[in-house]
Amino acid sequence: MKKSRILAAGFAGIVFFGISFLTLGAVLPSLRETLHLTMEQSSFLASILPLGVLAGSIAFGPWCDRFGYKTPFQVASAMVVLGFLGLSVLQAVPWLGVCVFFIGMGGGILNGSCNALVTDVSDDHNRSSNLSILGVFYGIGAILMPLVLGVFHQTPYTVILRYVMVLLFLVFVYFSLISFPQSKIKQGFPMKEGLNLLRQPLLLLFSFILFFQSALEGLCSNWIPVFLQESPSYGMPKEKALFLLTFVVVGMTAGRVVLSWLTLRVAPWKVLWAYMLLIAVGFAGLAAGLRPLVPVLLIGIGLGATFPVVIAYIGTEYKALSGTAIGIAMTVALTGNVLLNYLLGFLPIRVFPLYLLLIWILMAGLYLLMTGRKLFKNI
């Protein structure tokens, strides 16, 4: 096996996930217009995607640890390709829901598997750096579909989906041709050891940091445009608010580029605190009603550090069952995303920045607990 080819597979897979995760949001307006979907039908489709991602996040860890990475990569990419094909040809809402679930589950398997793969093939010194680069490639995939649909807005979305599907099929072929690391467990699956991970205080602390981190990423992606439109401090038109949202992704991608360099030179937990400070400044800027470009960009940059660094810590601490450990953390993280996004629906939009700051305080408290107990040692 060549490590460069394996890393390339991880980077290609996370681009795959970025495309799949953003595709529904990018094509949903066209789906509603073409198929005359009601708000209830649109919400139904939108709610299925995170359920699929959650299912994939639960499944990938034991699968990779027991059978290696090749089959999960192949099956997950095939699911996404079939989901894209279905979105481009089907019209019945229930079948579209099946396609969205396929896309979500395949993407969830790829997301977790790519993080676990890059974790396993990296040494302790460059693990955080390689995972940061992985995050950069996710940003590329996340931007790709909205960008392509925007540039070729006169082309039917079904045609664009088919072209993208061909590109993704070529990635599937690449996964089929290269060699992946072998399974860690040759016979059976040690259920006792896997269940014991759920009782590991360190893994639970890592997981709940990601619980709040994932919630912040989801809240910022979903609600910043709404806040900028409806807040008395801003009252922006929809087009300008959506344009500013892209700076969250741009900032996160730029932050991870810098992170890949910083973590090779500075202790990663120190870098985390610097990025956390940027997040807090961005949230405070929105709460104060400052011009939104700089706060939004700072939020994006700050959000770029936690997932790569914490996943690197998990991979270092739990090498024997890294896939299962990362899968547990990803599942907890997605649960936080769903629950805290749902809770915001009961609050007035004007308190949105304060809500973000409260979540930030809870996450910072977990960082203080871990730093105070020196749980970031030797990494």
- pLDDT, tens digit (0-9, with 9 covering 90-100), for 362-372: 999 998 887 76
Residue 338 falls inside a structural domain = yes
Distance CA 18, CA 311 (A): 18
What range defines the domain where residue 339 resides? 194-372
How do residues 29-83 score in pLDDT, each as one tens digit?
A: 677 778 887 767 876 777 788 788 888 888 887 788 777 889 999 999 999 999 9
Average pLDDT over residues 278-304: 93
Angstrom distance (rounded) from CA 212 to CA 307: 11
Among 148, 178, 208, the domain boundary falls at 178
The pLDDT > 90 percentage for the chain reads 24
Report the range of poorest mean pLDDT among 87-91, 127-131, 197-201, 281-285. Answer: 197-201
Q: Does residue 282 carry a pLDDT above 90?
A: yes
Asked whether the predicted pLDDT for residue 213 surpasses 90, the reply is yes
The pLDDT of residue 374 is 52
Listed ranges 153-167, 193-207, 294-308, 325-339; the one with the highest mean pLDDT:
294-308
Report d(CA 298, CA 272) in Å as an integer: 14
Radius of gyration of the CA atoms of the chain, in A:
20
Mean pLDDT within 212-216: 92
Binned at pLDDT 50, 70 and 90, residue 379 comes out as very low
122 in a domain, yes or no? yes
Answer yes or no: is 377 within a domain.
no
CA dist 87 and 48 (Å) reads: 14
Of 31-40, 181-190, 338-347, the range with the lowest mean pLDDT is: 181-190
Residue 377 has pLDDT above 60, yes or no: no
Q: Identify the three-state secondary structure at position 125.
A: coil
pLDDT score, position 106: 92
- Domain annotation covers residue 147: yes
Q: Is position 88 within any domain?
A: yes
Is 151 inside a domain boundary? yes
- What is the percent of the chain with per-residue pLDDT over 70, rounded to a whole number? 93
CATH of the domain at 286: 1.20.1250.20
Q: Which two tokens stand for residue 377?
A: 């040692």
Q: Which range has the worst mean pLDDT, 102-106, 209-213, 262-266?
A: 262-266
User: Which residues are CB-contacts of 165 (< 8 A; sequence separation ≥ 6)?
Assistant: 81, 84, 85, 88
Alpha helices by DSSP H, the chain: 3-35, 39-67, 70-89, 93-121, 127-151, 157-177, 191-197, 201-230, 238-262, 268-287, 293-303, 306-317, 322-344, 352-372
Pair 70, 157 in one domain: yes
Q: Are residues 209 and 320 in the same domain?
A: yes
Q: Which of 129, 148, 178 corresponds to the end of one domain?
A: 178
Q: Is the pLDDT of residue 297 over 70?
A: yes
How many whole angstroms separate alpha carbon 363 and alpha carbon 107? 26
Based on the fold, state whether residues 172 and 215 are members of the same structural domain: no
- Indicate if 105 and 215 belong to the same structural domain: no
φ, ψ dihedrals at 120, nearest 5°? -70, -35
Closest CA to 88 of 164, 21, 167: 164
pLDDT of residue 376: 53
What per-residue confidence (pLDDT) applies to 43?
67
Does 352 lie in the same domain as 285?
Answer: yes
Q: What is the mean pLDDT of the chain?
A: 84
Mean pLDDT within 7-35: 82
Q: How confident is the model at residue 267, as a pLDDT?
A: 81
pLDDT, tens digit, 9 for 90 and up, residues 80-118: 999 999 988 888 888 988 998 999 899 889 988 998 899
